Homo-oligomer: A and B are copies of this chain.
Amino acid sequence: MQNLLRSYQLFSEAEIESLGPFLRSRRLEKGDYLIKAGKICTEIAFVQSGLLRSYYTKDDGDEITYCFTFENTLMTAYSSLITGLPSSENIQALVPTELWVLQKRDLEALAQRSINWILLQKHLAEQQYVELEKRIFSYQKEKASERYRELLLAQPHYLQQIPLQYLASYLGITRRHLSRIRREMLERAN
């Protein structure tokens, strides 16, 4: 996590070390939850190793994958963390996952002492926005097969670990259709 913070070029080495006492190590087994829908999210997790999936549930009970989080990135039920409202997301480990967890209240305490922790939050929110905007664009202008193709390009090998049904709802389609898309890509490759 410290390396991630360094990459933002906001912090002195002393500040980065001051974070240490607030980080709690946590291990999730496959299928364990970081947060469940209905709870208010009060923490931010850094994925040291492993893989997380965030999903929510439709009225008819179907699960829809909102996003995945790979190694060396941050994860939280961000809307709930921001608004203080109950989360609609469930965050679950797809494989055994090692985390460093920071409590929101500790981050706020740090922010009282150095403005850089506020700048960090601003920066993260902006980054997340830019990511989502790209995703909106892809929903607006691409058909599902193109969205899948781009996902394959962007996440070379991580995707191997993800069941196709999760990828399908992430892309906004059914597993049946993703199966079709994959077959067409194979046929075209030969």
Contacting A133 at CB < 8 Å: which of B121, B126, B132? B132
A125 at interface, CB cutoff 8 A: yes
| Complex-state Cα separation, A170 to B129, whole angstroms | 18
- How far apart are A146's CB and chain B's nearest CB, in angstroms? 11
Contacting A79 at CB < 8 Å: which of B64, B122, B133, B170? B133
- How far apart are A152's CB and chain B's nearest CB, in angstroms? 19
| Complex-state Cα separation, A169 to B125, whole angstroms | 26
Question: In this complex, which of A118, A130, A137 has the most chain B Cβ atoms within 10 angstroms of its Cβ?
Answer: A130
A78 at interface, CB cutoff 8 A: yes
A7 at interface, CB cutoff 8 A: no
User: A113-150 vs B: 1/0 string, CB under 8 Å?
Assistant: 00100110110011011101101110111000000000
Chain B residues with CB under 8 A of A188: none
- How far apart are A22's CB and chain B's nearest CB, in angstroms? 20
| Complex-state Cα separation, A140 to B170, whole angstroms | 7
| Complex-state Cα separation, A172 to B143, whole angstroms | 10
Question: Is the pair A125, B129 in contact by a Cβ cutoff of 8 Å?
Answer: yes
Question: In this complex, which of A64, A140, A169 has the most chain B Cβ atoms within 10 angstroms of its Cβ?
Answer: A140
- Scan residues 51-98 of chain A and give those whose CB is less than 8 A from a CB of chain B: 56, 58, 62, 64, 66, 78-79, 82-83
- Scan residues 17-73 of chain A and give those whose CB is less than 8 A from a CB of chain B: 56, 58, 62, 64, 66
Beyond known contacts A64-B137, A82-B129: 18 more, CB 8 A cutoff? A64-B141, A66-B133, A66-B136, A66-B137, A66-B140, A79-B130, A82-B126, A82-B130, A118-B118, A118-B119, A125-B125, A125-B129, A129-B132, A132-B133, A132-B136, A136-B139, A139-B172, A140-B172
Which residues in A have some Cβ–Cβ distance to B below 8 Å?
Answer: 56, 58, 62, 64, 66, 78-79, 82-83, 115, 118-119, 121-122, 125-126, 128-130, 132-133, 135-137, 139-141, 169-170, 172
